Chain A
Amino acid sequence: MDLSENAKLLHSRMVALPSSTLFGQEDLQKFLNTTKSADLLEAAQELINKKLLKLVKQGDELKFQATSMSEASKITSMSEDEAMIYSYIEASGREGIWTKTLKAKTNLHQHIVVRCLKSLEGQRYIKSIKSVKHPTRKIYMLYNLQPSIEVTGGPWFTDSELDTEFIDSLLKVVWRFIASKSYPTVFQAPSPNVNIVQASFPTTHNGFASLSSIVDFIANANITTVDLAINDVRSLCEVLVYDDKIEPIEHMIDSYKVTWSSILEAGYGRDYENPSNEAFVSPKLKSLAAPKHFSIFDSYSVIDSALADDKDLVYFDSWIYE
């Protein structure tokens, strides 16, 4: 690119610093070693014409920002409308910009905006993204940028859809990890050293799963490629609390243990009922431990779903439909 000496010097000094740096007039004068504003004006105007310098307004002050050669050649290759649209998209950063806002800001006709966007997209300067907050809006951002968390919705979203399968499998893994810390022998085969009917930690035990240990576990076990922050894991734990699968431990911040009911529901903790484990439990104790009457908490072992054609069937909510 043909540039005067001064302009070249000024540009090379500006790009040497990080690209986002904003310069004031004094800084530029220092770069050129001149006190005359006319010299600066000439060089700066030349750079602006060639799209190598941008004017940025910060507060009430006018600042300058350098653009790299490749970026400048990109912009110079665009039409004027395209360049204007590109500059707005660039300014929107990682949030992206809605086509309607773009139209309003540029004051261009819909057709022109659409045409420009198409051509920019075709050259892979920009890309269209989906926002979780506004799923119906068409939003554009620079091709090389990653959408922000507000746009993608955080780790729980895949292609702007809530990834419930991912969440469910994570919930299972986290529950199992907490369970292994909550009851000493819950996932083990019965042994003579452990009471088969119930084996609990004493109340003085303090080795329960804490939030940070869960975060470490998820990070070390290579479960997911998605980075989970401590708050994401906390919301997972909260969901488990809502499911009544785990409960926070009193007097210990961010520590959890699984509820015994969730262990029973997962099919553990009932080894003493298994006929193959008779060696570990006396028959008298076994009969004593067997449920003697109906209890809602045990109902998953009693309810018979094959009663649908029963003539005497009464639905639980029959009262409201009476």
Chain B
Amino acid sequence: MSVEAEILRFSKSQSTKSNLYTTVAKTHLGEVAAVVISILISYGRLTAKDISQRSKIQLKLVKLTLVSLIQLNCIYYWHDKTSNNVYYSFNERGILMLLHSGEIIVHIKNKFGEEAAELTQHLIEFGNIKIEDYLINFKDEESKYKRESIITTLFTQKWLIGVSKVDFNPIEDLWMTVYEEVLRNTPRSTTMSEAKRIAEVKEEAKQKLSKLIENSRDVKQHIVIKDGLKRMNPSTIIRFNLDRFEKHLRTRCFVDFSRFKIGVLSSMVYEAALTAIEDNSPDMRHFFLEVTGLLNDPDERREFTNSIENKLVDDKKITFTLKDVLKYLPKEVDLRNSILSHNFLKPNPISKKRVNSDSEDQAPKKIKLEPDSEGQIQSPEEHTMEFEDFQRNIDVDNSNAQSLGLINQHLKLLASNSSVKFVVETTPGVYMVPFTEIVKNLKRHYYDTLVKYTLGADSLRVLRCLKACKIADEKTLANSVLLKEKAVRNTLFNLINLNIIEIQEVPRSADRAASKTFFLFRHKESNAYSFLRNSLLFSMAELSQNIIDFKSENKILLEKCEREDVKGHEDELLLESELKLLKNLKAREILNIGKINRLKSMFEVFGVL
């Protein structure tokens, strides 16, 4: 086995991330790139010479690969001034972009049209492009102008960002440089303790780093106003903003979640609301959270994320009004008669009269329930409901398909769900989205649903009971979930096997005799989720590997199809059996990609959000 193949084989056992990333790199970028990435994941950071030595690949080839990988944002570089070495380290964003590429292009196509999708595809293919270099390809002025305006639109909506030098540097190194500089410039003094000095330096360095990064993100430097028109600075280098796409993924997950918890129409209202604030919604990643040792305490981290969200609420960046929702709500959505208030005043003719006089086009409707599936079992209430009528809510204007009253009612439904608060009404008519809180609940529900579909309803019952009890033994669980003890024991075994729950041993004698010990169970979210995340990554890599494998099995046929003389004349030059095989291969590839995408959509919840 060659050294390259050996290295790729090791990446499988190294970590699930390394496995997936190398497989993706191998399919999209080729074997050498995969080897370089695999080595950088295992060793952290290396010089080009080190990489060449460890991979037994020629230095020249390594350097060539590194350049294109840097261009594709798969690798960071850092020029160390003291040793005058250039170090390279792995940047997962580039690979993630490749993983999401299909969906990104489809989304941009649906939202901004064909040309924007084409531009996005080029950006993903090339990594970073200078605007003037891109526009040079278009000869006639009109299409050039059109492309420019597309770039401006995408840029102002943050789908594209300007690239600066710091984007290619690892954040840890940037932090250390800034920190050391501030430390050097802060003299020791007798009136200040060392701990206080370090804390102050840390605070100042944080501000300095924020400033450095924010300056590079500043939109204004990339936009020039020419003849009263906002235009992009032609020398700006742009790239696709994966962070912005991740925000869209979050919106999508939230909408799915609300659709499942509240209903289709409410989820459409929610989607409109989320779209209205998507541009300004809090980032999923923050460089402070990525630097090791900056925010250690989980409480501190939580506080930091909350503070970002609170600031956005205070600045009215992620709040919205009913009119904002109306603006983004598709015109086809018809909310009429979706909010019905139940009138239980049936025996009282006076109140009925009042109801009739209050609403104009009132059509009292007799409700007849369908025969109960339980046979003779019918509730007395269900019988009386035959005579009850539904009254349209008086406060809601039902004549308009998208009246503000109806939108408000749907937002209220979203705000009043007992398990998840999808929106929070800050002041009457003004709502905000509590992102961090929803993400937490979304993960929980997602996980529960997954347990239900993979391990069965009993497992879900036991798991949710365990969550409610925090910690419990087998007997307590069996009593609360009304299942046979044997069934509970089997379920617990399955749950433990998949690291969904943990065992706590409680010894009852001094010698910790196993016969006397009894066991408690508990569910710990962080461990369970990280296990799931790894499983998802691993399965995705396995599926990608499947594609690589069956393609290499049929290498001869596939190479034949790629030949210039065969291309386009497959029907004439290939045997019938070959055509059939080719068709099967294509179908298998599509099936596997479909599966990868499903896993990816789960990974979005546990890995991205």
Q: Does A70 contact B (CB under 8 A)?
A: no
Q: Does B352 contact A (CB under 8 A)?
A: no
Tell me the bound Cα distance from A162 to B602 in angstroms: 37
Partner of A202, one of B339, B374, B546: B339
Q: With A221-B379, A260-B261 in contact, is A189–B370 under 8 Å at CB? A: yes
The residues in B between 593 and 607 inclusive whose CB is less than 8 angstroms from any CB of A are 595, 597-598, 601-602
Beta-carbon nearest neighbor of A257 in chain B: B418
Chain B residues with Cβ under 8 A from A248's Cβ? Answer: 418
Q: With A172-B374, A193-B363 in contact, is A244–B448 under 8 Å at CB? A: yes
Tell me the bound Cα distance from A202 to B487 in angstroms: 40
Say yes or no: B342 contacts A220, CB within 8 Å: no
Q: Does A318 contact B (CB under 8 A)?
A: yes
Partner of B480, one of A207, A217, A235: A235
Partner of A191, one of B365, B449, B550: B365
Say yes or no: B340 contacts A201, CB within 8 Å: yes
Say yes or no: A239 contacts B266, CB within 8 Å: no
Tell me the bound Cα distance from A11 to B130 in angstroms: 114
Tell me the bound Cα distance from A82 to B257 in angstroms: 70
Q: Least Cβ distance of B339 to chain A in Å?
A: 5
Tell me the bound Cα distance from A285 to B338 in angstroms: 14
Say yes or no: A242 contacts B597, CB within 8 Å: no
Q: With A164-B484, A207-B342, A242-B481 in contact, is A195–B266 under 8 Å at CB? A: no
Q: Does A303 contact B (CB under 8 A)?
A: yes
Say yes or no: A282 contacts B546, CB within 8 Å: no
Tell me the bound Cα distance from A241 to B165 in angstroms: 54
Q: Does B233 contact A (CB under 8 A)?
A: no
Contact segment of B48-56, B152-160, B535-543: B535-543
Partner of B263, one of A188, A260, A297, A299: A260
Beta-carbon nearest neighbor of A239 in chain B: B482
Partner of B601, one of A223, A293, A317: A293
Q: Least Cβ distance of A194 to chain B in Å?
A: 5
Q: Does B534 contact A (CB under 8 A)?
A: yes
Tell me the bound Cα distance from A189 to B390 in angstroms: 15
Say yes or no: B498 contacts A180, CB within 8 Å: no
Say yes or no: B337 contacts A195, CB within 8 Å: yes
Tell me the bound Cα distance from A303 to B450 in angstroms: 12
Say yes or no: A195 contacts B378, CB within 8 Å: no
Q: With A221-B379, A288-B333 in contact, is A242–B484 under 8 Å at CB? A: no
Q: Does A197 contact B (CB under 8 A)?
A: yes
Chain B residues with Cβ under 8 A from A200's Cβ? Answer: 262-263, 266, 338-340, 413
Q: Does A1 contact B (CB under 8 A)?
A: no
Q: With A188-B370, A193-B365, A200-B262 in contact, is A162–B483 under 8 Å at CB? A: yes
Say yes or no: A314 contacts B543, CB within 8 Å: yes
Q: Does B577 contact A (CB under 8 A)?
A: no
Say yes or no: A297 contacts B257, CB within 8 Å: yes
Q: Least Cβ distance of B328 to chain A in Å?
A: 13
Tell me the bound Cα distance from A310 to B546 in angstroms: 12
Q: Does A68 contact B (CB under 8 A)?
A: no
Q: Least Cβ distance of B591 to chain A in Å?
A: 7
Chain A residues with Cβ under 8 A from B257's Cβ? Answer: 297
Say yes or no: A156 contacts B482, CB within 8 Å: yes
Q: Does B259 contact A (CB under 8 A)?
A: yes
Q: With A184-B390, A198-B265, A217-B380 in contact, is A319–B333 under 8 Å at CB? A: no
Chain B residues with Cβ under 8 A from A269's Cβ? Answer: 263
Say yes or no: B464 contacts A198, CB within 8 Å: no
Say yes or no: A201 contacts B342, CB within 8 Å: yes
Tell me the bound Cα distance from A317 to B539 in angstroms: 8
Chain B residues with Cβ under 8 A from A125's Cβ? Answer: none
Say yes or no: A312 contacts B592, CB within 8 Å: yes
Q: With A167-B482, A294-B597, A297-B449 in contact, is A194–B381 under 8 Å at CB? A: no
Contact with A along B389-403 (1 / 0, CB 8 A): 010010010000000
Q: Does A46 contact B (CB under 8 A)?
A: no
Contact segment of B64-72, B220-228, B453-461: B453-461
Contact with B along A281-322 (1 / 0, CB 8 A): 010110011000111111110010000001110111111101
Q: Does A90 contact B (CB under 8 A)?
A: no
Chain A residues with Cβ under 8 A from B464's Cβ? Answer: 241-244
Chain A residues with Cβ under 8 A from B263's Cβ? Answer: 197-198, 200, 260, 269
Say yes or no: B367 contacts A243, CB within 8 Å: no
Q: Does B16 contact A (CB under 8 A)?
A: yes
Say yes or no: B468 contacts A242, CB within 8 Å: yes
Chain A residues with Cβ under 8 A from B368's Cβ? Answer: 188
Beta-carbon nearest neighbor of B595 in chain A: A314
Say yes or no: B601 contacts A193, CB within 8 Å: no
Say yes or no: A197 contacts B264, CB within 8 Å: yes
Tell me the bound Cα distance from A239 to B550 in angstroms: 47
Chain A residues with Cβ under 8 A from B379's Cβ? Answer: 177, 180, 217, 220-221
Tell me the bound Cα distance from A256 to B608 in angstroms: 34
Tell me the bound Cα distance from A316 to B453 in angstroms: 12
Say yes or no: B377 contacts A264, CB within 8 Å: no
Can you offer 18 A-B residue contacts whose CB atoms are under 8 A? Answer: A164-B482, A176-B374, A184-B342, A195-B265, A197-B265, A198-B265, A201-B340, A202-B413, A217-B381, A242-B468, A244-B452, A285-B334, A295-B260, A296-B446, A297-B256, A299-B449, A303-B453, A312-B595
**A-B interface, 3 closest residue pairs, ranked by CB to CB distance from nearest:** A198-B263, A297-B260, A319-B538
A interface, CB within 8 angstroms of B: 156, 161-162, 164, 167, 169, 172-173, 176-177, 180-181, 184-185, 187-189, 191, 193-195, 197-205, 207, 213, 217, 220-223, 235-236, 238-239, 241-244, 247-250, 259-261, 264, 269, 272, 282, 284-285, 288-289, 293-300, 303, 310-312, 314-320, 322
Q: Knowing that A162-B483, A187-B370 touch, tell me 8 more A-B residue pairs with CB under 8 angstroms.
A: A162-B482, A173-B374, A202-B396, A223-B377, A242-B465, A242-B468, A242-B480, A288-B330
